[in-house]
Amino acid sequence: MMNNVSVLTFFTLSGLNYTVQHRIILFALTLLYYLIIWIVNVVVIITIIVDQRLHEAMYIFLCNLCFNGLYGTAGFYPKFFKDLLSPFHVVSYAGCLLQSFVIHSSSASELSILAVMSFDRYVAICRPLEYHSVMTRQRISLLVAFSWLLPHYCMFSNTMTVVQLKLCGSHIPKLYCSNALLDKLACSTSLAHASVVFFNITIYIVHFLFLLWTYMYLIRTCLKTKHGRNKFMNTCVPHLVSLISYSFAALFDVMYTRYGSSTLSQSLKNFMAIEFLLFPPIINPLVYGLKLTKIRNRVLGFIHGQKENV
């Protein structure tokens, strides 16, 4: 057993107990899926950047949501592709910490961005006359900075306390590294680490409560008029779909990490572990691209223009 973090140079990952033939098929399907994730997110990002009419708060936040999806998946898929083609599933100590930081800071950023987007919809629908005085360029910039800096600060603090832990094992029963599982490898509990985890959980419980309060207020306001219902359907439904998708995916990951059962099949456990890296990154750009008229028309206009040129 390893009782000091200084001698721990790598971790082994588990979960890929498939045959070589199945791994090749999985590699091809996963690569195709990852390319689709990149294409749909990049299309939305470029569309928003190049069209001056889309330089509004809602679309700027959406651009950050798509970019965050690419950032988070980049922390998982390249390493996963390597593991699919290799009989040995190991990751260096530093690489493990980096992967955990990227994946979970992305997950936390997504909730922060969704919270910021819900605030934008609240102001637009419940205080429309004040919208432009509230959602100024400076405030939009501050909200974007908040949605990136706070999650990364929380995860950086978490990672720094994990570095201080003395670990008595090197096996991680998951497809990727996780600070929560590294904590389970610790030889003893750490008050500093437990305090940081509690602080981070509290921060994101507040995020979630804010989202619930916002949507309760939005739904109550929108149900009063037909115009309000139409506005809710056009601008809030995509956000609500993204929120539900994220919530279920995060719930599955927490259930797997904290309460994983040996009675579940390995394939099901793998699915639970990576669901938040599968669905939100592709659902977000698709649901917004199909539902938001300005983005849909801009993309369709570009496609039709290309066809006419050909």
pLDDT in tens, 140-158: 999 999 999 999 999 999 9
Residue 276 lies in a domain: yes
Per-residue pLDDT, 304? 65
- The model's pLDDT over 272-309, given as tens digits with 9 standing for 90+, comes to 888 888 889 999 988 887 777 778 777 777 666 655 44
Per-residue pLDDT, 241? 85
Opening angle at CA 208, ends 249 and 272, nearest 5: 15
Residue 102 lies in a domain: yes
Instruction: Give the model's confidence band at 36: pLDDT under 50 very low, under 70 low, under 90 confident, else very high.
Output: very high
Task: Look up the domain containing 27 and give its range.
Answer: 5-305
Mean model confidence pLDDT for the chain? 85
Residue 310 lies in a domain: no
Instruction: Give the model's confidence band at 3: pLDDT under 50 very low, under 70 low, under 90 confident, else very high.
Output: very low
- Strand locations in the chain (E): 10-13, 90-92, 171-172
What is the average per-residue pLDDT within 187-215? Answer: 90
Residue 144 lies in a domain: yes
Residue 291 lies in a domain: yes
What is the average per-residue pLDDT within 197-220? Answer: 90
Residue 245 lies in a domain: yes
Residue 34 lies in a domain: yes
Per-residue pLDDT, 100? 94
Count of structural domains, the chain:
1
Secondary structure letter of residue 167 according to DSSP = B
Kindly tell me if the per-residue pLDDT of 69 is higher than 90.
yes
Distance CA(165)–CA(68), nearest Å, equals 29
Which range in 83-87, 111-115, 222-226, 291-295 is most confidently predicted, on average pLDDT?
111-115
CATH number at residue 142: 1.20.1070.10
Distance CA(257)–CA(181), nearest Å, equals 7
Give the whole-number percent of the chain exceeding pLDDT 90: 42
- The model's pLDDT over 221-271, given as tens digits with 9 standing for 90+, comes to 887 777 777 777 777 888 888 888 888 888 777 776 666 556 667 777 788
Distances (CA, A) of 105 to 101, 178, 244, 269, 303: 6, 11, 19, 22, 35
Q: Give CB contacts under 8 A, 24+ apart, made by 182-190.
A: 182/96, 182/100, 187/3, 190/161, 190/164, 190/165
CA 224 from centre of chain: 34
Per-residue pLDDT, 5? 43
Whole-prediction pTM: 0.89
Instruction: Give the model's confidence band at 118: pLDDT under 50 very low, under 70 low, under 90 confident, else very high.
Output: very high
Residue 241 lies in a domain: yes
